[in-house]
């Protein structure tokens, strides 16, 4: 296998950063293919924490290339800041190891302002976005009025697009949201700085990926968010503005479907969700507090506390189908240590009947009640386990039950935040 896709199977925050960082050891290139800086990947290497939002998690590895694909929406100020912050930590970031797709779309200042204004106006009915401008940017992309990265390299084209877009956005901001308009001259000056700084990074990323694939180089594709935040397949409208499913690699990075060799589905050993939307297995008791506190379940982008609950295999089964998962990567297993018993949601009860699917009707989804299986917990510290046999019997039973219920074999098990705290059952890359 040469081209591997890593996706989240829940509502995001499954620990993609660590797993991608781990797999990058054997990859030549790491590609981010969708989303924006509304997602944060937390990496812990030798006890030191790194948080990346736009730059692929593989940037911490020497002699590896990191690509930001055309399916990503890029806030240039955030990207520049992230590059500089990583460089300050002693990690080299330059056009030699980071490339930005010329076809990616830019998150502009008016996108951020619109995002905030909308959420504010909706009040209690708000979606719970990160207010980073991601949704409004994707709107302009689909409406064919977006500003792309390549436009930074042509000042005349950029200014013409900026004038057209800002006239419309300022009208909305002033007349509908009651917000002060933005000044075109100020944005134009800022954009000149973006162009100068980012110009050397801008490349034909899809073409570079194709060339690398032709040479048989190992390529790792990472998405943002999780399957059930997918704009098409998630619990709409409490979703993100893009498609985090594995098939998006084809559009978001420019790779043909027949060149995807394997998909790894990340599964947090329990379930979390941020923002609004249905969450049948959510816990608001002592067990829920245990998961949040021990798992440090606070958003790496926003700092918001995450909603926590038992593992939901109805959600996981849907993800297996949508993504074609070949192997599971179980994360944060150590967080469950200390609980007397564990529960797994295996079905929902909806209006007196048992179902094993997610209703498209949001009102019906809210009425779903979890049907649980109960398994024994464990007290032993598992953070030093490096082989499956090192785990307590109750831990192995829990993992095997997840595999059976989802129909996918175990590939990787994480027993702690550090790179070394990992059990590899299946190496997805060839020797």
User: Annotated active-site positions, please?
Assistant: 13, 41
Residues in Cβ contact with 74 at an 8 Å cutoff, skipping those fewer than 6 apart: 36, 54, 68, 100, 104, 105, 106, 107, 149
Burial class (CB in 10 A: 0-12, 13-18, 19+), 259: middle
Q: What is the DSSP string of 250-302?
A: HHHH---GGG--EEEEEEESSEEE-SSS--TTB--SHHHHHHHHHTT-B-TTT
User: Which contiguous run of DSSP H or E holds residue 48?
Assistant: strand 48-52
Residues in Cβ contact with 363 at an 8 Å cutoff, skipping those fewer than 6 apart: none
Determine how many CB atoms are found less than 10 A away from the CB of residue 180: 10
One-letter-per-residue 3-state SS of 62-78: CCCEEEECCCEEECHHH
Which residues are paired to 215 by β-bridges?
Answer: none
Q: Is 410 helix (H, G, I), strand (E, B) or coil?
A: strand
CB of 149 closer than 8 Å to CB of 100: yes
CA distances from 185 to 109, 162, 182, 342 (A): 13, 10, 9, 58
Q: Residue 52: which of 84, 17, 76 has the closest Cα?
A: 17
Q: Are strands 262-268 and 3-8 parallel, antiparallel or unpaired?
A: parallel
The end-to-end CA distance of the chain, in Å, is 9
> Is the omega angle on the peptide bond into residue 237 within 30 degrees of 0, that is, cis?
yes
CB of 372 closer than 8 Å to CB of 345: yes
Q: Is 387 helix (H, G, I), strand (E, B) or coil?
A: coil
């Amino acid at each position: 296998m040469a081209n591997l896709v890593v996706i989240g199977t829940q509502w995001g925050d499954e620990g993609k950063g660590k797993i991608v960082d781990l797999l990058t050891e054997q990859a030549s290139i790491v590609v981010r293919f969708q989303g924006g800086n509304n997602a944060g990947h937390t990496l812990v290497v030798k006890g030191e924490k790194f948080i990346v939002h736009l730059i692929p998690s593989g940037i911490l590895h020497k002699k590896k290339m990191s690509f930001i694909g055309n399916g990503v929406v890029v806030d240039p100020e955030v990207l520049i800041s992230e590059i500089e912050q990583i460089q300050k930590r002693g990690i080299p970031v330059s056009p030699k190891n980071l490339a930005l797709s010329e076809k990616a779309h830019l998150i502009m200042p008016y996108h951020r302002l619109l995002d905030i204004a909308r959420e504010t106006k909706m009040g209690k009915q708000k979606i719970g976005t990160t207010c980073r401008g991601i949704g409004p940017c994707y709107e302009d992309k689909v409406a064919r009025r977006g500003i792309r990265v390549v436009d930074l390299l042509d000042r005349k084209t950029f200014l013409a697009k900026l004038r057209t877009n800002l006239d419309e956005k300022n009208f909305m901001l002033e007349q509908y949201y009651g917000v002060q308009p933005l000044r075109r001259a100020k944005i134009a000056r800022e954009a000149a700085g973006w162009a100068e700084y980012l110009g050397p990074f801008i490349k034909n990323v899809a073409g570079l990926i194709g060339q690398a694939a032709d040479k048989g180089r190992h390529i790792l594709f990472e998405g943002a968010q999780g399957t059930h935040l997918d704009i098409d397949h998630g619990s709409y409208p409490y979703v993100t503005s893009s498609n985090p499913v594995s098939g998006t690699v084809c559009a978001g990075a420019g790779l043909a479907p027949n060149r995807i060799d394997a998909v790894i589905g990340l599964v947090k050993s329990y379930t979390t969700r941020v923002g609004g939307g249905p969450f049948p297995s959510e816990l608001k008791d002592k067990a829920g507090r245990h998961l949040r506190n021990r798992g440090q379940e606070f958003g790496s982008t926003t700092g918001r506390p995450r909603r926590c609950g038992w593992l939901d295999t109805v959600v996981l089964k849907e993800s297996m189908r949508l993504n074609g998962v070949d192997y599971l990567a179980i994360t944060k297993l150590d967080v469950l240590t200390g609980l007397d018993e564990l529960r797994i949601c295996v079905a929902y009860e909806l209006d007196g009947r048992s179902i094993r699917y997610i209703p498209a009707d949001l009102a019906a989804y809210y009425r779903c009640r979890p049907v649980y299986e109960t398994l024994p917990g464990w007290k032993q510290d598992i953070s030093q386990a490096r082989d499956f046999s090192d785990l307590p019997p109750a831990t192995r039973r829990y993992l095997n039950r997840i595999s059976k219920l989802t129909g996918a074999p175990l590939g990787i098990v994480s027993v702690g935040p550090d790179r070394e705290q990992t059990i590899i059952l299946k190496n997805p890359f060839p020797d």
